[in-house]
A and B are shown apart, each in its own frame.
Chain A
Amino acid sequence: MSGPGATVLVVEDDDEARAVLVRELGSRGYRTQEAADGRSAMERWEASRPDVILLDLGLPDIDGLEVIRRIRRESQTPIVILSGRFAEREKVEALERGADDYVTKPFGLAELHARLRVALRRAAGPSADRHGRIVVGPLLFDAGRHEVSVDGRAVDLAPREFELLRVLLGEQGRVVTKGKLLRAVWGQAYQGEDSYVYVHVSQLRHKLAAADPAGALRDLIATEPGVGYRVRDAET
Chain B
Amino acid sequence: MQSAVGSWREGTTALVGRRGAIRLVAVAVPALAAATALVWMLEDRFGVLDASPVYLLAVVVTALVSGTLGALTTAVVGIVLYDYLFAQPVHTLAISDPGEWLSLILLLFVGLVVGQLTALERKRTLTAEAREREARELFLTSRALATRASTTTVLPEIAELLRRSTEVDSLRIALGPNDGSERTAAESGDAAGAGRSALHWQLRRTPGDEPAQWVRIHSPSASRRQEPRQGIDLFRVRIEAGGRPLGSIWASRSRRGGLPDRSATRLLSAAADQIGQALAQDRLAAEAGAAEVARQSDALKSALLQSVSHDLRTPLATIRAAAGTLRPDSDLDSPGRMASAEAIEREVARLDRLVANLLDLGRIEAGELRAEIDVFMLDDLAARTIDRFGSRFAGHSVVTDIPALPVSVDPVFLDEALANLLDNALKFAGPNAAIRIAAAQVGDRVRLTVDDDGQGVPDELLDRVFEKFYRAPAAGAMARPGTGVGLAVVRGLVEAMGGQVEARKSALGGLSVALDLPLAHLPAELATAPTR
Contact = CB atoms under 8 A, between A and B. Distances in A.
B359 A85 contact: yes
A88 interface: yes
A222 B384 contact: yes
A205 B383 CA distance: 12
A183 interface: no
Nearest to A223: B384
B530 A207 contact: yes
A225 B345 contact: no
Interface stretch (A14-22, A41-49, A191-199): A191-199
Contact of A226 (B411, B523, B530): B411
Main secondary structure of the interface of A (DSSP, over half): helix
Nearest to B406: A199
A97 interface: no
Given A196-B526, A226-B410, A226-B412, A202 B377 contact: yes
Q: Name the residue among A201, A209, A223 with the largest chain B CB count within 10 angstroms.
A: A223
Interface in A1-29: none
A196 B404 contact: no
Given A198-B376, A206-B404, A206-B530, A225 B348 contact: no
A226 B372 CA distance: 8
Interface residues of A, number: 25
B529 A202 contact: yes
A32 B181 CA distance: 58
A219 B384 CA distance: 9
A225 B372 CA distance: 11
A225 B415 contact: yes
B529 A203 contact: yes
A200 interface: yes
Given A106-B352, A198-B376, A206-B530, A219 B387 contact: yes
B286 interface: no
A150 B415 CA distance: 30
A196 B523 contact: yes
Given A196-B526, A223-B384, A202 B376 contact: yes
Interface string A73-90: 000000000000110110
B374 A198 contact: yes
A210 interface: yes
B522 A199 contact: yes
B211 to A, nearest CB: 62
A189 B384 CA distance: 31
Interface string B7-30: 000000000000000000000000
Interface in B362-383: 363, 372, 374-377, 379-381
B474 interface: no
B356 A225 contact: no
Nearest to B356: A85
A207 B530 CA distance: 8
Interface string A161-182: 0000000000000000010000
Contact of B375 (A85, A106, A199, A210): A199
Nearest to B345: A108
B532 interface: yes
A89 B355 CA distance: 19
Contacts of A198: 374-377, 380, 411
Contacts of A225: 381, 384, 411-412, 414-415
Given A194-B375, A206-B404, A226-B410, A199 B530 contact: no
Contacts of B410: 226
Given A106-B348, A226-B372, A226-B412, A196 B522 contact: yes
A178 B522 CA distance: 18
Contacts of B372: 88-89, 226
Contact of B404 (A85, A178, A202, A226): A202
Contacts of A205: 380
A199 B376 contact: yes
Contacts of B380: 198, 201-202, 205, 223
B257 to A, nearest CB: 52
Q: Name the residue among A88, A200, A207 with the largest chain B CB count within 10 angstroms.
A: A88
A202 B406 CA distance: 10
B382 to A, nearest CB: 10
A111 B165 CA distance: 74
Contacts of A201: 380
Contacts of B412: 88, 225-226
Q: Name the residue among A106, A196, A210, A225 with the largest chain B CB count within 10 angstroms.
A: A225
B374 A200 contact: no
Nearest to A89: B372
B530 A210 contact: yes
Nearest to A201: B380
Given A198-B376, A203-B529, A223-B411, A86 B359 contact: yes
Interface in B335-368: 345, 348, 352, 355-356, 359, 363
B141 to A, nearest CB: 45
Nearest to A225: B411
Nearest to B370: A89
Contacts of B374: 178, 198
Contacts of B414: 225
Interface in B394-451: 404, 406, 410-412, 414-415
Interface in A64-105: 85-86, 88-89
Contacts of B522: 196, 199
Interface in A115-129: none
A220 to B, nearest CB: 12
A199 B381 contact: no
A121 B208 CA distance: 88
27 contacts: A85-B352, A85-B356, A85-B359, A88-B372, A106-B352, A178-B374, A196-B522, A198-B376, A198-B380, A198-B411, A199-B522, A200-B526, A202-B376, A202-B404, A202-B529, A203-B526, A206-B404, A206-B529, A206-B530, A207-B530, A210-B530, A225-B384, A225-B411, A225-B412, A225-B414, A226-B372, A226-B410
In order of increasing CB-CB distance, the 8 nearest A-B pairs are: A225-B411, A202-B377, A226-B412, A206-B530, A225-B412, A198-B376, A225-B415, A202-B380
Given A85-B355, A199-B376, A206-B529, 5 more contacts: A198-B375, A203-B526, A206-B404, A223-B381, A225-B412
